[in-house]
Each structure stands twice: as C-alpha cells, then as structure tokens.
Structure 1
Amino acid sequence: MSLPANPAPSLHLHIDEEALGRNWKRLDTLSGTARAGAAIKANAYGLGAERVAPILHRCGVEDFFIAHWSEASTLLDHIAPRNISVLHGPRNTEEAAFARSVGLRPVINSLEQAHLWLNAGAGPCDVMVDTGINRLGLDLSEVNDPVLRKLDVQLVLSHLACADEDHPLNLIQLEKAHNAFAAISSAGKSLASSAGIALGPDYHFDVTRPGLALYGGVPRSEMAEAIEQVAFPQAAVIAIRQVDAGASIGYNATFTAPRPMRTAVISLGYADGFLRLWAKAGCFQFENKILPLLGKISMDMAVVDCSAAPDISEGDWVTLAYGLPEASAATGLSQYELLTILGQRLHD
C-alpha cells in the first residue's frame, strides 16, 4: 500500500534569491581588485547550501568554502570540486583519500595535515596560517617548513579575529599575514571575510570570503546600506481565538489579557529556532500589519495579538520580522546564531 504525499507544510523559509545575488555583487565590488568568494558552510548559514550555491555560482562566484567534508555531497552537482575548499582540512588518511578522489581542495592547517595530503598523492590545496585568532592554522614559526614547498597551494589564508570592530589586533594580524603570505608560494592570498571587506583594500588581497553579509547580516555599520535582508521565516496561522480580559496566555501565565483580545496561534516555536528570547521583542507581519507576540513561545507554536488584522484567518501566512541587525539587538543573539539556528522544518 502506497502512502499519499504529505500535506503541504505549515512553515517555510522564504529566500529572496535576487537580494542574495545583489548582496554578493555588492560585496564583490567592495572587494576592489580581489574577487569575492562565498562561505557556504553550516548549510549556507542555515539557508540551505543546495539552494544557495547554484544562485551564487550563476552570479559568478568561483571560490566556495565549507567546514566539514560531509557538506560537500550536496554541492557537487552544482560546483566543480576544485572550487570547493574544506576549511577543517584532512584529519586522517581516510579524509585525505576522499579529498584526493573527489577533487576537493583541503585547507591544510598543520604540518601533520601537509604530510597526510602528500602521502595521499596530494593535488591542489589551500593553506591556513594563524595570525592571531588562535584557532586553526599553521603557527607563524612553521611557514618556512620545507614540506610546504612541496604543496600545490591555490590559496594561502588567514582569518581576522576582530574585523567587526576597530581593534588594534586588526593591524597586527594584517602585518603578520603579509609576512606569512610572502613565505608560502601560492596562486592567491585571502584574509578578509564579510567584516574584513569593510576594513579596506589593504585587507582584500586576492580573494575575500564573505559569509554573513551574503545572507543579510551586517557585521559593520559601513555595510548597512549595501546589504539586503535575504531570509524571511514564514508560518501558517493554525487557530484564531477570542480571549477574555483577565485570561492568561501560554505557559506559566506570563501574559494576562488587559482587555478582550483576538489572537492567532502561529505554527512556529523554539524547536524551529524561534527561541524564547523573542518573547518580549518579537512580532509577525501580515499585510503590513504588526502582530505582537503574547506570552511564552512554545515548542511548536507562538501566540500573537491580531487585533490590528481583523481579516486574518486560519490558513493565512505570517512573516516573522527577521532583519538580522534589528533581531540581534532585540534578542541578544548574534546575527550568525539567528541564521544558523533556523530549524529543519522551515526548509520543508
């Protein structure tokens, strides 16, 4: 017995594909003589790498960056493996052999990884140098090691720790990057991600690696006018209720109706990344009308005041106000977290 198809979902993540493309083109322009790549790790920051990557590829992106080897499988139908850099590099012989057989570019983060890659047969790769963030990357004392001269290095990279603020470490890392980049023979050099682009031409080198700003995040105020919102979480109204004055709404009775109210139950909750931090700051929109949240957010539901939208009814769709800079200020969550916590049900 074959089962019928699932009914249409009551959640959706609308992606403004044109805004995504425009964001990349502006970031590419802001990168000056450097070309802008695209960080699509963490499922394109939660928006869906399989959907986002082809859009960016059509726009002209040549360099794509992921973190885990497992992230490559959804991309290979859209992007040539030689254009995909895996930031975590090969941990063992199995990962090195996988990269070699598929044609992916591992980012070499240590001398041990360099030996792993050479023993696997090598091929084009990137090299990461740590200039002050103290995460992954070669130590500056290692950049003249002879093993690195045996590698076919496409990009030598580093990563800024404080690019989203005017911090003295930026200039320190820039100077260290110049020294490290001069020591390693490579086809190109890369230091700046989204925020680093706004620091100016000295930080751009050959390739920039925007991530957050592609998807509507604004890491520095100078970029606010250039970046458009891309992600719009949407949910269906699953119930309309009349609530009496004095009645409470939701868990722990944290909201009491000051008057008779017309409310709507929305099919979105903290299991979808809509955390309880939103309770006092969030709202939905329906036909340009604002629907404030009432009470605590539940696992799969939230309740809003729909007094301003008398025409709203069950089955209608509402959009969560999710401009990333404003949402970050309202919730205390970083713009990165706001994107990457969006739940799988929004992608159905």
Structure 2
Amino acid sequence: MSGIAHDLSHRLADRAEAVCRHYLSNGRREGRYWLVGDIRNTPGRSLFVRLQASAKGPAGKWTDAATGEHGDLLDVIRGSRGLTDFADVANEARTFLNLRHPEPEPSTLRRRVVPAPAGHVEAARRLFAMSQPLAGTLAETYLRRRGITLLHGTGNLRFHPRCYYKPGDGPSETWPAMIAAVTDLTGRITGIHRTWLAPDGSDKAPVDAPRKAMGDLLGSTVRIGVPDSVMAAGEGIETMLSLRQVLPNMAMAPALSAAHLAAILFPPALRRLYIVRDNDPAGDAARDMPMERANAEGIEAICLSPTLGNFNEDLQRLGMDALRACVRLQLAPEDVLRFMSLPR
C-alpha cells in the first residue's frame, strides 16, 4: 500500500462507523461490526466491517463471508461509489474526511492494531454459520441425484440458498451452494468448501469453477463420521459419500484435492487408513504421499481404487452391487464384517 493510501486508510479507520453510515447506508451496526450485503451497499448481512480495533484485527477491515473477499475502507468507497481509478477513490476519501464528524473515543485510538487473521478463516466460519442443515434442501437433492442417499453424520455439510460467486473479473452472482466445513483434528473449523448448484439441484451450477475452497486447509479435511482406529480419506466429497453408501459406519475424510490429501493429519487412534484414489495421474500422486507418511507412523495404509474414474462414477453407472463387490475385494477381511453393508 502506498504512503497516501496507508494514510487515508488509517484516517478512515479512525472514523469507521461514520464511513459505514455514509457509504454503506443499507447496513446497520451490530455490536462491534457494521453488517451489509457487500461493498456495493447491497442490503444484507454477508459483509462485516470491524468498527473498533481488537485482538481480531484493526478497525476498518472488512470480510465478505459469502465471497471471501476482504479489504479496507478505501475499498468500501471504491465499491459503493463504483470508482475504478485510485485518484478518484483518494479524492472521494479526502472529501469525506474534510466533513465534520465526532472524533472517536480516545480508548479506541489507543488500542493496539494487529494484523487480520490469515486465510479467511473467520469468513469461512461465518458463512458456515449462516448456512442451513442439509435435510430437505437443494444440496440434498443434488447428492441424491448422484446416487448418494445415506446422509447420517453429515453435520459438516450444509446449504446456502444464495452464495456469492465471482466469475473472474465480472460482477458477483448468487447461486445455491452446498457448504462443507473443513475442520482440524479437534473439530475446529479452519475453512469451508463451496459447491455451487443449479437452481433445481440437478447438477453443479453452469459456472467456470463450481467448486472453491477458502480458509486454512492444510492438514484439515471435511470430516464425515467419527474416526477411531479405521478411516478412509480421499479427494472429493461426492466420491467419499459414494464409498460410504457401502461402508456406512466407516469415518470418511474428503481432503478436497490431491495436494491436500497428501498432507492430511492422522487422528491419534488411527491404525488403518484406506486411501481412496481417483483413476488419473493426480490420484496416483495423491496416493503415494499419505501412504508413505502413514507407514512411517505405524499406520497400515491400503489403497482403494474404483473401476471407473472415481467411486461416484461407479455408483451412478455400475450400481450399488458392483460398487460393493469392487470395494469388498480391497478391504481387510475384518473390515468387511465390521463396516460393509449387506445387500438388500
């Protein structure tokens, strides 16, 4: 940030609430935050502007929980006024700062300014909190259309009816979305994953990148079920939920990508890890690293491979019986009895 921008941003932060009342007039104050839809002053509650410096960060910083965007009050002026050139933003800020407003309380000025938390973790937690349980939503419709009907223990999966999506340099859009909480070994949310959906839940939304994650994902996963001595870990949420159709009592850990699968943290009680691979080069690479790490920690690692591209393809195209037969041949014998569902 340039010296001019830094100075203006600091001066605006000293008058954060006045800035919000002037440029984000469709919002309102709640506690130490100003809530509004976005920096364009859309009515809503997705964007949080911090009004006072605290241990969570300096005054004037904002995060949009729906998009993961963040910035300062210069960005608020830019977005609310539709400005593009910094010179215009700076002139608008100077005009505002020349207005007579009550000075902030001295105690506010004396507070220590600390950096905002990295990785949009706070925004991820807010978005998950604003989402609703999976049952009866378009997210459940989406999963059932993919053959996934066993949804017990999926509290880390939720639904948001109007989740913001930003297509490159274009304006933000809203689509329904399946929201997945990414948690560490203690169950603390460190990030979220969004799968934007078609308006009828029949498929993913027709956008360039219908899946995006935000937050601190390294080592964490979307945890489905409670792991004990045995669990399965793989890449995609739908892939792991498909495997769970035939292993309903085994804990699943979608890591969301091949790179994150290679870096997952193992629960202390884990003794056997099933590594679920996709049939592609990335799947081979994702399999090898956690297998080496598990073996080094005395954990037995067994690879589970689909017949087709992934286990959701197997479930949809080959059916439940074929999926069950494929998985059964690859399980440890004792886990067949312990975890595998019987044909109906």
Please report the TM-score for the alignment, with normalisation by the length of structure 1.
Answer: 0.25
